[in-house]
Amino acid sequence: MRLWRRFALGHVRRVPGSRRLATERPPPKAFKGSNIQAGSPYSKELRLLAHVFETATAGDPSSVCDAIERFGEDVLNPAGQWLKVAGRHKTTVLSKAMKNCPKGGSILEIGTYCGYSALRMAMALPGARVVSLEVDPAHMVIARNMVAYAGMAHMIDIWTGHSKDVLPRLPQRYGGRHQFRLGGVFMDQKGSRDSEFASEIFWCFSCLASSWPRGGQVCRSCGSVWVLGLGLSRVGGDPTQGYHEDLSVIEQLGLLLPGAVVVADNVLKPGSPLFLWRLCKGSAYDNHIVRVKEFAMPSEDWMSVSVLRPEAAVEMESMSVEVPTVERGKGQAPQGAWPVPPEELIQLQWESDRIRAQATRPGRGSVSFAEWASYAEGMKEKMVNHGIFETEDAEQLESGAELF
């Protein structure tokens, strides 16, 4: 804790007469990766920060991002661990997408983690403010230190709290809804749902899919009648939550500029089937689904890049409200209605929430690289059956192809 307080409070100062934060002195000498006990809470993230302090140049965001990638690939990866940042191919997609944001707006990120993608976006769009939300206060402290060390604290604001609580209040912090307009949004808030698990999940005895009885104990995946209750489940029981819930709040507040770019990571693994359905079957966005190699993990993923049509932006603004309601309906929106999703996609959303919760549970709950790869394959097949498939490949973008 002493170490924690020293690094959290000790080396960052505010530049007199401005909102800018800068590193005042080098990080404390005691803050070394070798001092951090493996397996202790946040040891991975603290070791990452120590690695950055030890190997990257202060004030150079590019060197900080390179150090973060090297930590993921050279330190964690050989130990079978994974750093959940949008690195390498994902950075290419994110940067290319964000470069197409309409001018004059801010960039909103949901899911800061250690600040890597916030730094990448700030570098891709010099002069644009990046506003990033992080539910975990420890991640927030680490990210603020990372951003300050990179010399970008004057461009990146990191707020702590759950998006569903912070989003509706955010515009007030920036002078109101009409002043706080967004040219880009990066949705990367996976892992937020643990607390919603409470009492009983049902597993199918024959195919092991998670299931739940409705009108009898019949598995929704394979039709078997043998469903085993394991005593874990989700309270609130709303399968329509996810990225699309946050997007709906942003839309209802009327924050998106015409042509705003909405990027979402991990839409295949663990996946966001209802979010993709909403985007691809609705009429408000032009969509690209990009196949990407997961950062420092041998598996495939998708990122979605959606551009808000000008007429939809005008409609959203004219219908905007001060107090958004959480979207719970399956086929309604303030604008750009989309068809009711098929039951199989609702089931898939549950499965993606389940594996996401398993992956973020410490210790024995984690998901191996091989399990992730096979999960991604299965998810892809089911999404394709519903007419949702990849339209671009990140490797082509790396070789110079453009998204738009």
Q: What residues between 26 and 85 interact with ligand SAM by CB under 6 A?
A: 84-85
What is the phi/psi pair of residue 385, to 5°? -60, -25
Bridging pattern class, strands 285-293 and 392-393: parallel
Q: What residues between 218 and 247 interact with ligand SAM by CB under 6 A?
A: none
CB nearer to ligand SAM: give 129 or 386: 129
Residue written as token pair 């209040």: 169
139: contact with ligand SAM by CB under 6 A? yes
133: contact with ligand SAM by CB under 6 A? yes
Q: Note whether 142 and 49 are within 8 A (CB).
A: yes
CB nearer to ligand SAM: give 15 or 235: 235
Site stretch for ligand SAM (CB under 6 A), options 1-9, 110-118, 301-309, 374-382: 110-118
135: contact with ligand SAM by CB under 6 A? yes
CB nearer to ligand SAM: give 158 or 209: 158
- Interface residue with ligand SAM among 157, 188, 351, 353 (CB under 6 A) is 188
309: contact with ligand SAM by CB under 6 A? no
What CA–CA distance (Å, rounded) separates 19 from 6?
22
353 burial (CB, 10 Å; 0-12 / 13-18 / 19+) is buried
Tokens of 87: 């690195």
Q: How far is the CB of 188 from ligand SAM (least distance, A)?
A: 4
What CA–CA distance (Å, rounded) separates 380 from 355?
15
192: contact with ligand SAM by CB under 6 A? yes
- Interface residue with ligand SAM among 31, 71, 116, 277 (CB under 6 A) is 116
| Three-state DSSP string of 211-254 | ECCCCCCCCCCCCCCCEEECCCCECCCCCCCCHHHHHHHHHHCC
Task: Using CB positions, name the residue nearest to ligand SAM.
Answer: 192
Site stretch for ligand SAM (CB under 6 A), options 112-120, 273-281, 361-369, 385-393: 112-120
317: contact with ligand SAM by CB under 6 A? no
Q: How far is the CB of 248 from ligand SAM (least distance, A)?
A: 14
Tokens of 290: 């990009």
- Interface residue with ligand SAM among 36, 107, 108, 110 (CB under 6 A) is 110
Tell me the Ramachandran region of residue 115: left when phi exceeds 0, alpha when psi lies from -120 to 50, beta otherwise: left
Tokens of 352: 């993606």
Q: Note whether 206 and 219 are within 8 A (CB).
A: yes
| Interacting residues toward ligand SAM by CB under 6 A | 84-86, 110-111, 113, 116-117, 133-136, 139, 162-163, 188-192
